[in-house]
Amino acid sequence: MIPSGGFRVYVTKDYLVFSSAHFITFAGHRCESLHGHNYRVGVALEGAIDAESWYVLDFSVLKRLARKLCDEIDHKVLLPLTNPKLTVEVQSGTVAVAYQGIPRYVFPLDDCALLDIPNTTVEMLARYLTHRMLAQLPPAVHATAIEVEVEENFGQSAAYREEIGVQPDPAANEPTETH
């Protein structure tokens, strides 16, 4: 008999890290200087256990996926592609970045990770990694939620959690009438 209730597996290892450069744009007219962090990543997966294996997902599979994603952005300049204050243009093997129309940086393309996010905050990096992880989970996994935590410095982290296979209730967003 399969135990009822929810199960959660979590991995974080010394090799689930990436060292990358970034900068953040802030409200108003402020853009911080280029700098870097040694980021650490943790991944939690919730769901039902498999009746044959008795686990949510083999730790080795979860670690391998997380490491692959960390390696993709390790030693790269992280550039957000959907930031309205930035223009990111790829041309002749380089990436030119302008902030509010003013040229700011030019990097070799091979040194950049062009990310479909609005800013390179740890919140957005956690969301980005969560979505990448979801896209690569084996189809047989009976997961109900995933959470990725990204730490940019000891004691400073953000996590993004997403329910899997749960459709939002459209009625929950409709205004209710009061008399």
What are the catalytic residues? 31, 75, 152
Token couple for 116: 């479909």
The DSSP secondary-structure symbol of 168 reads P
Distance between CA atoms of residues 95 and 157, nearest Å: 28
Extract the tokens encoding 119: 């800013």
Largest CA distance in the chain: 64
Q: Tokens in use for 76? A: 């790269």
Q: Which of 113, 81, 108 is nearest to 95 (CA)?
A: 108
Q: What is the C-alpha separation between 96 and 104, in angstroms, rounded?
A: 8
